[in-house]
Structure 1
């Protein structure tokens, strides 16, 4: 059969040489006032065709019908973006930026690997390796369509400024946690650093006030890692500063059981008792929640980071996200450092709900597609405390956005764009990533710095760090497991 589209006749609406007013190049999207005219703009009201956006000073100055914006801004030459969608950048509501060197060490491992892998690994970092590890994570996140990440705090023996510098140099917006643990995580014994911990927390919140890309946050690893007084005090400090407190809550059976034995109540119930449950709480995971605990979250106005990939890789359950949405519980999507691909995260969020809850109840919608884009963008921004700043394409919001190529076979023909982006979208379709109005990534490569050099240095440092870190794995690597299987 003759190919109906021979190579010399094929047209690609998104190719650089087909833009009606010249090739689509990075310099045409550089800093300055720009009027961007894609095929579709993903607004808070849904996808809008023949819409445009004016970007200036790091923010959206106007969003609306392209014809109207062109009349209102006659001095601007529209940048035509055929075959593109302009959509909000994704928000990773739960990350560990300095854990990138050990990502694959967690594969095939049982729950609560923080004791055996993450604490030893981060403890072996120095300033250079912590910086490179964090920047490597930021690079992966930007490549995957995330414009904001919430870092839950590092245990590396370095100043948080190291992580802030890495995120800022990469060009990603970061909600930066400061770990405020003052008790032994295993025994729950009070520590001696309570006052010092709180003084450091106040200094951290003040340190980044007014910073463009770094937004301070407080963090407690798990409820038993801080004394009751510190849990309550960090909640008050964060609430006063308009920040969030990130705590891993109800993630694993062992953690729930420890709380029951030690306090007679479950982790979320304990946080309520000590005054740490409120709108400032960003509860990471919340997979093992009872109906009563869902009510606690809803009544308190607390937010949740729903981390579906982490649940599949090392969890004991999947958070009931569709139920949370129905109950009005605020939540976003988080990677937990598993992989930095926002479209795959949105797909996993829907897929996990379908397998865990939808199939058993006959729910064939499981969020109807749009829910996962909503929670990946504006819902995530709200969960991490930045809802007034980012996560939406609207006048006044920070210009944190993606240009996504939807001209390929994954999206044509198109019948339901939100569903298609969730089910069939991938990071290879991301043409450009903008944070605070600046072009940060172009076709998977950073603008203004050498990613290849970073990756090479990361590989060198990771080998050194892992060699000196007392990491303990419960299972063999995949190649070792295969060899053992073959031997049997």
Structure 2
């Protein structure tokens, strides 16, 4: 058998024979996968695939797990140049940090930001991200081109706000939305999506019409929903109902909706989500860093509400996201009721991969190692001290694994990263250029922080 080399995936059809394959039902030994033309053409017992494909020499991958790439169900790719400026800040930082920052982006800096964020995501094991829509005053193709160049699959949102946008009519918004959905038809990596920042940012007509367009196109509409107490209260004052209820009243609540955050849900709203078939992005790190609450993800799972895991642009490390997803549920809900399982480990793997792909509208395309699915996968080194001996690999991946164990990241059958860095473009040069441009962008942006940076905070409060 041939040993794996970085150029092996560009050599045509391959029969990959790892130590373990992560299937929907769990990790399997003596299994293999055939990759050809960017998809898995066969998955099953190694000996059977050897017989069925005598022309292929198995590529031995000792000590490696072949698993689906993770799907980030909620990201903001054009905010990465100022990521840590939001650390230690109260909620609704989009008004004081993100809108000013994105407002200073031009074509080059928006492209650099999106490509840097894409590199971070790939390094962390994400093969797909859902971009919630940039507010940068640029053509969204700058973001699309960046993800395409990096080799990251992207569900690309176009912001369709028409409230508080002078001169913007619902008809104009709808026309732009139609063009955006048509623009990326047939694109290998970019999948069009629509977006509304929050329900109050669009008229009821636009909420209804964008939902209809998305349903017809098989796309999703990404909307921040029930994220903060302030947003719930604004909706109650302005519309007499909570944000999710407002979407339902407008005819915008359905299978096409990807509700970002949904941390503040009543029992009636959970049932509303289930009944309408809407999906949620559970963003536990965002809850820990700037949120008012933790979405009741286990309740969503138990009641049949669709949901995926999202970073909200916090950090591009999928294994740490799994850990945060489980830990947040344990602290917020499990400890108070004596639930020591909190999803049993597998729940978070499932909702970081296959269920997350479903939530962002790509469930038929990616998210699992199965024949007919896109060859979006990771090779993870399982010989590290933390995973030897191994007794319960799903739990171990959730609590012990990290991105340093990822040997290879493959998207659409092409090797995109090898041991953390791109194989066909200069990732280090991008990082240096993004750092240079990022300093210029932040210097121009009128960012307002409620708290000082950490070194100033230490000086003010004194070292103890």
Pick the TM interval, shorter chain. Answer: over 0.9
| Alpha-carbon separation, structure 2, partners of 1:379 and 1:281 | 15
The corresponding residue for 1:78 is: 58
Moved over 6 A (4+): none
The corresponding residue for 2:91 is: 111
| Alpha-carbon separation, structure 2, partners of 1:235 and 1:382 | 17
**Alpha carbons of structure 1 residues 315 and 332: separation in structure 2 relative to 1, 3 Å:** same
Pick the aligned partner of 1:205 from 171, 178, 181: 181
Partner SS for 1:26: coil
Q: Deviations over 1:407-466 (max 9, x none)?
A: 110100000010000000100000000000000000001110001110000011001100
**Alpha carbons of structure 1 residues 57 and 438: separation in structure 2 relative to 1, 3 Å:** same
| Alpha-carbon separation, structure 2, partners of 1:35 and 1:487 | 58
Partner SS for 1:183: coil
Q: Is the 8 A contact 2:123 2:403 kept in 1?
A: yes
The corresponding residue for 2:330 is: 354
| Alpha-carbon separation, structure 2, partners of 1:125 and 1:212 | 27
Q: Deviations over 1:342-393 (max 9, x none)?
A: 0000010000000000000100000000000000000100000000000010
TM-score by length of 2: 0.99
| Aligned length in residues | 464
The corresponding residue for 2:358 is: 382
| Alpha-carbon separation, structure 2, partners of 1:301 and 1:267 | 17
1:194 aligns with 2:170: yes
The range that moved more, 130-139 or 193-202, is: 193-202
1:207-286 equivalences in 2 (<5 Å): 207-286=183-262
| Alpha-carbon separation, structure 2, partners of 1:241 and 1:104 | 37
Partner SS for 1:331: strand
Partner SS for 2:385: coil
Pick the aligned partner of 1:66 from 39, 42, 46: 46
The corresponding residue for 2:76 is: 96
The corresponding residue for 1:370 is: 346
The corresponding residue for 1:182 is: 162
| Alpha-carbon separation, structure 2, partners of 1:64 and 1:476 | 55
**Alpha carbons of structure 1 residues 147 and 31: separation in structure 2 relative to 1, 3 Å:** farther
Q: Shift in Å at residue 193 of structure 1?
A: 2.5
Partner SS for 1:60: strand
Q: Shift in Å at residue 192 of structure 1?
A: 3.4
TM-score by length of 1: 0.94
1:45 aligns with 2:25: yes
Q: Deviations over 1:192-245 (max 9, x none)?
A: 332111100000000001110000000000001111110011000000000000
**Alpha carbons of structure 1 residues 283 and 31: separation in structure 2 relative to 1, 3 Å:** farther
| Alpha-carbon separation, structure 1, partners of 2:149 and 2:7 | 20
Q: Deviations over 1:111-160 (max 9, x none)?
A: 00001010110000000000000000000000000000000000001001
Q: Is the 8 A contact 2:127 2:153 kept in 1?
A: yes
The corresponding residue for 1:160 is: 140
Partner SS for 2:383: coil
**Alpha carbons of structure 1 residues 353 and 170: separation in structure 2 relative to 1, 3 Å:** same
Q: Shift in Å at residue 175 of structure 1?
A: 0.1
Unaligned runs of 5+ in 2: none
The corresponding residue for 2:303 is: 327
Pick the aligned partner of 2:115 from 131, 135, 140: 135
The corresponding residue for 1:398 is: 374
Partner SS for 2:216: helix
Q: Deviations over 1:262-306 (max 9, x none)?
A: 111100001000000000000000000000000100000000000
**How large is the RMSD of aligned CA atoms in angstroms?**
1.1
Q: Is the 8 A contact 2:9 2:413 kept in 1?
A: no
| Alpha-carbon separation, structure 2, partners of 1:88 and 1:487 | 45
| Alpha-carbon separation, structure 2, partners of 1:165 and 1:137 | 13
Q: Is the 8 A contact 1:31 1:439 kept in 2?
A: no
| Alpha-carbon separation, structure 2, partners of 1:450 and 1:303 | 37
| Alpha-carbon separation, structure 1, partners of 2:222 and 2:54 | 46
**Alpha carbons of structure 1 residues 457 and 54: separation in structure 2 relative to 1, 3 Å:** same
**Alpha carbons of structure 1 residues 215 and 139: separation in structure 2 relative to 1, 3 Å:** same
Q: Is the 8 A contact 2:287 2:294 kept in 1?
A: yes
Q: Is the 8 A contact 1:232 1:274 kept in 2?
A: yes
Q: Shift in Å at residue 31 of structure 1?
A: 4.1
Q: Is the 8 A contact 1:31 1:438 kept in 2?
A: no
Q: Is the 8 A contact 1:190 1:227 kept in 2?
A: no
Q: Is the 8 A contact 1:90 1:342 kept in 2?
A: yes
Q: Shift in Å at residue 22 of structure 1?
A: 5.1
| Alpha-carbon separation, structure 2, partners of 1:487 and 1:146 | 39
